[in-house]
Structure 1
Amino acid sequence: MGIFTPVTTLEGDAQFDAYVARPEGEASAAIIVIQEIFGVNDGIRRKCDNWAKAGYVAYAPDLFWREKPHVELDADVPEEFQAALGHMQKLNQDQAIRDIEATIRAARAAAGGGKVGLVGYCLGGRLAFMAACRTDGDAFVAYYGVGIDGLLGEQHAIGKPTLLHIPTADGFVPPDAQKAMHDGLKDNRHVTLQDYEGLDHGFAAETGQRRDEDAAQLADRRTADFFAEHLA
């Protein structure tokens, strides 16, 4: 359904690719899907396609482009999982937020000046929270975002609705980090946290062994309802 399309950096000195899926009719709002550590792979592209079917124009920026463009890895293949960790460690996250901001501009233009929602997974969940603190997007969703407990000092800058999906048995976000998130964000009127008891990291992946079908459908319904409310 979609194709890779160039997006110009904020500085205007380079371009990077984003997978873009468009609805059949005119889109009045846009969704940016922020990749996991596995790149803009089939699962991320499917998420864009699903948003397009729901009537949004959807963008998934290739955030690893400065190191290696078009990374596509499989979480269920151990060697590829290790390679993905290497790409994550090389990513300049502050620069990635600037690329996300550039993608917001492109997506907003593609939606005729409409609102832009952001949804990220794993590393992308962390970046979605950072984007809520640093960008002019209109609504933000993070699935199993890693290291958000270390970003709580920025939460005062969140001015738009933000939703965090938190699996309680997340091997990458231990209980003390989850408690810090709940305690630190409980008084922030812009942020909602949803727990998923007994579930692990990656439960909403489109494909592969990590997916939990019932929980994925529940979280995705909540996300769809959230965007329907806040991007109208």
Structure 2
Amino acid sequence: MTEVTIQAKDGGSFTGYLALPAGGKGPGMVVIQEIFGVNDVMRGLCDQYAAQGYVALCPDLFWRQEPGIQISDKTDAEWQKAFQLYQGFNEAKGVEDLIATLDFLRGHEAVTGKIGSVGYCLGGKLAYLMATRSDADANVSYYGVGIDGALGEATAIDKPLLMHMAGKDKFVPPEAQEKIKATLSDNPLVTIHAYPDQDHAFARTDGIHWDPEAAKAANERTAAFFSRYLKS
């Protein structure tokens, strides 16, 4: 569990939190942050994926604005800061940084075989964009915000994509969810699981909308998905 430096494709560099599995080697996993930076939650997720046998790396996607952001969802001030960073975030550059992270893992001595991505909230949309813009072997999106505005890229999906959608997500209204389902339903590589009674970030441990049962179901589906597509 260490900090690494990743070279950006357009110059400069950024850091990421790297967690290694007990065996020292395994498939790779790009873990994509929420709007709160590479905080305790994201580092904990990396550790969990490492415990499942993956070389897990969460890059700092806000480095172009303010490197090293680590805030929580516990105070109004932190939420305001998070939304400020989100509004100033360059999505295209963020995807480029994720692809650079993917390339970093491909060249890492601990990575054997395939590499996937998994993202939450902001990262949920970026995981979808990794499915459309990168050569990651499998991708998982947790309650991605704004995917309905990027469905023009859906035809580019040629690797397995798993999506978890919260039915009562205040950031993704029902009409947006229906548009996503209608557009992606014909692609056999895309699997969408809906959680009708859940709100946004239901899988964020100890978050305001955390639901242990729904989180357990989603996480078990994710584990089975990555085991199938990254470990085989």
TM over 0.5: yes
Helix, strand or coil: the match of 1:39?
coil
Kept after mapping to 2: 8 A contact 1:43/1:207 = no
Helix, strand or coil: the match of 2:129?
helix
Amino acid at match of 1:95: K
TM-aligned CA deviation for residue 210 of structure 1 = 2.4
1:4 is the counterpart of 2:20: no
Amino acid at match of 2:170: G
1:49 is the counterpart of 2:47: yes
Amino acid at match of 2:81: A
Amino acid at match of 1:25: G
Give TM-score, length-normalised by structure 1: 0.96
Which aligned pairs between 1:173-188 and structure 2 lie closer than 5 A? 173-188=172-187
Supply the distance in 2 between the matched residues of 1:177 and 1:120 (Cα, whole angstroms). 19
Write out per-residue CA displacement over residues 39-91 of structure 1, whole angstroms, 9 at most, x where no aligned residue.
Answer: 11100100000011111100000000011011111112111011100001111
Give TM-score, length-normalised by structure 2: 0.96
Amino acid at match of 1:90: G
Helix, strand or coil: the match of 2:107?
helix
In the alignment, structure 2 segments of 5+ residues that lack a partner are: none
Root mean square deviation of aligned Cα: 1.1
Kept after mapping to 1: 8 A contact 2:201/2:207 = no
Helix, strand or coil: the match of 1:33?
strand
TM-aligned CA deviation for residue 113 of structure 1 = 4.9
TM-aligned CA deviation for residue 207 of structure 1 = 3.2
Where do 4+ consecutive residues of structure 1 move more than 6 Å?
A: none
Which has the higher mean CA deviation after the structures are superposed, 163-172 or 107-116?
Answer: 107-116
Supply the distance in 2 between the matched residues of 1:222 and 1:145 (Cα, whole angstroms). 17
Kept after mapping to 2: 8 A contact 1:46/1:206 = no
Kept after mapping to 1: 8 A contact 2:14/2:63 = yes
Hey, what does 1:127 align to over in structure 2?
Answer: 126
Hey, what does 1:82 align to over in structure 2?
Answer: 80
1:37 is the counterpart of 2:35: yes
1:136 is the counterpart of 2:132: no
TM-aligned CA deviation for residue 26 of structure 1 = 3.3
Supply the distance in 2 between the matched residues of 1:61 and 1:107 (Cα, whole angstroms). 11
Supply the distance in 2 between the matched residues of 1:29 and 1:175 (Cα, whole angstroms). 36
Hey, what does 2:58 align to over in structure 1?
Answer: 60
Amino acid at match of 1:165: H
Amino acid at match of 1:203: F
Sequence identity percentage: 45
Supply the distance in 2 between the matched residues of 1:60 and 1:174 (Cα, whole angstroms). 28
Amino acid at match of 2:143: Y
1:158 is the counterpart of 2:157: yes
Write out per-residue CA displacement over residues 92-113 of structure 1, whole angstroms, 9 at most, x where no aligned residue.
Answer: 1000001000100111222445
Supply the distance in 2 between the matched residues of 1:154 and 1:209 (Cα, whole angstroms). 32
Q: How many matched pairs?
A: 230
Kept after mapping to 2: 8 A contact 1:118/1:140 = yes
Helix, strand or coil: the match of 1:96?
helix
Amino acid at match of 2:125: R
Hey, what does 1:210 align to over in structure 2?
Answer: 209
Supply the distance in 1 between the matched residues of 2:48 and 2:26 (Cα, whole angstroms). 16
Supply the distance in 2 between the matched residues of 1:161 and 1:65 (Cα, whole angstroms). 29
Supply the distance in 1 between the matched residues of 2:8 and 2:192 (Cα, whole angstroms). 32
Helix, strand or coil: the match of 1:114?
strand
TM-aligned CA deviation for residue 114 of structure 1 = 1.6
Which has the higher mean CA deviation after the structures are superposed, 201-210 or 128-137?
Answer: 201-210
Helix, strand or coil: the match of 2:4?
strand
Amino acid at match of 1:15: S
Supply the distance in 2 between the matched residues of 1:54 and 1:93 (Cα, whole angstroms). 29
